[in-house]
Amino acid sequence: MQSVAPEKAKSPSVFARILRSWTGGTSLIVLAALLVLSILVNLGVVGFDPIAQTPADRLLAPNGTYWFGTDQFGRDIFSRVISGVGSSALISGVAVTIAALFGTLLGLVGGFYRGVIDVFGSGLTNVLFAFPPLLLALTLASVLDRNWFTVAVAIGIVYIPIFARVTRGPVLSLREIEFVKAAKSTGMASIGIMFKHVLPNIYSIAIIQIALSLSWAVLTEAALSFLGLGSPPPAPSLGSMIYEARTLVLIAPWTLWAPGAVIVVFVVCLNLLGDSLRDILDPRSKEVNS
């Protein structure tokens, strides 16, 4: 555990430092552009209605009207891809929030109180860790009613143990550190100590993990929808678009490359953002990773 040195008066902000590194900055801008675009598409300002079918315009190659071409129902692929990025971001965001919330709480409470709670928490973590992630996500998704929220819940549950494990260790050492003991000796309630003194010290660990988990969540969501266990159609989803493109790719290659290229760009940006956030928040990783 690194010493808990007082942070420099929070300057410059993490956000500014991300923007300054060119990989972090570029990926942040691309991600923001994709998200804004997807909101505009869903509001109907840009492109077409992602689920509107125009049978007369089936399987058109990319052109001035349909930038990424059309699919077998005459739907605009550009609008579908961009709207798919939006829903993928929504599902992944909710999933990682669920995982971060419950996982951090599990690690915090278990590490802080030890005893029976910790045994139960660590046991649950080990059980969830015993499944290959995609397998657990797809079994959970098949058990729950299918809509975008349950897909997010399924992915979220899979990533709970990661957050529990990365936070529990630091909490174990934090509870032995002087300022926590000092707070205890002043008679402060232990629940107050946990949230006021211990939790703020594991924020950066949780934030790094959130950033790294987002790209996995996007890939998991895409794999689930590729396998037919994501949000039900006709909602546009990158995974199911690629699935449908398998049979069309010979006559209409854009049905594969458009969603394929966009998901790769999306995940590359998330990975770069996660890496640069980690370099900034975790000084130890910097020597090794930059």
Partner 1 sequence: MRVLESAVVKKAAGSLATLVGVAIFVFFMLRAIPGDAISASLGTEAAGLTEVQRKSLEEYYGLDQSLASQFFSWVGNLFQGNLGFSVRAQQSVLDLTAAALPVTFQLAVFAIILALAIGVPVGMLAASRVGKPRDVIGQALSLIGLSVPAFLLATTLLTFLAVNLGFNPNGLGYKTFFEDPVVNLQQMLLPSLVLGFGISAPIIRTTRAAVLDVSGQDFVRTAKAKGVSTRRLQFKHILRNALIPIVTMTGLQFGYLLGGAVVVEQIFSLPGVGRQVLTGIQQKEYALVQSTVLVIAAAFVIVNLLTDLLYRAIDPRVRAE
> How far apart, in whole angstroms, are the C-alpha atoms of residue 36 and residue 156?
24
Decide: 159 and 146 in contact? Cβ < 8 Å.
Answer: no
C-beta of 46 vs 228, nearer to partner 1 = 228
Q: Among 29, 61, 191, 264, which residue sits at the site for partner 1 (rule: CB under 8 A)?
A: 264
52 — phi, psi (to 5°)? -75, 130
Q: Among 99, 155, 162, 263, which residue sits at the site for partner 1 (rule: CB under 8 A)?
A: 263
Task: Look at the block and give the residue holding tokens 């209409």.
Answer: 252
127 touches partner 1 (CB under 8 A): yes
C-beta of 106 vs 183, nearer to partner 1 = 106
- The tokens for 285 are 């990783």
Decide: 121 and 127 in contact? Cβ < 8 Å.
Answer: no
The interface region with partner 1, picked from 49-57, 84-92, 180-188, 249-257 by CB under 8 A, is 249-257
Give me the half-sphere count of Cα atoms (radius 13 Å) on the Cβ side of residue 253.
1
- The tokens for 102 are 């419950």
166 touches partner 1 (CB under 8 A): no
- The tokens for 223 are 């794999």
Residue 166 one-letter amino acid? V
C-beta of 53 vs 131, nearer to partner 1 = 131
C-beta of 123 vs 283, nearer to partner 1 = 123
CB burial class (10 A; 0-12, 13-18, 19+) of residue 257?
middle
Residue 146 one-letter amino acid? R
35 touches partner 1 (CB under 8 A): no
30 touches partner 1 (CB under 8 A): no
113 touches partner 1 (CB under 8 A): no
Q: Among 109, 180, 242, 280, which residue sits at the site for partner 1 (rule: CB under 8 A)?
A: 242
39 touches partner 1 (CB under 8 A): no
281 touches partner 1 (CB under 8 A): no
Q: Among 104, 111, 239, 279, which residue sits at the site for partner 1 (rule: CB under 8 A)?
A: 239
273 touches partner 1 (CB under 8 A): no
- Count of other CB atoms within 10 angstroms of residue 52: 12
> How far apart, in whole angstroms, are the C-alpha atoms of residue 206 and residue 32?
22
286 touches partner 1 (CB under 8 A): no
142 touches partner 1 (CB under 8 A): yes
76 — phi, psi (to 5°)? -75, 115
- The tokens for 225 are 């929808």
- The tokens for 125 are 């973590």
The interface region with partner 1, picked from 3-11, 13-21, 90-98, 223-231 by CB under 8 A, is 223-231
Q: How far is the CB of 178 from partner 1 (least distance, A)?
A: 27
Site of interaction with partner 1 (CB under 8 A): 123-124, 126-128, 130-135, 138-140, 142-145, 215, 219, 222-223, 226-229, 239, 242-243, 245-246, 249-250, 256, 260, 263-264, 267-268, 271-272, 287-289
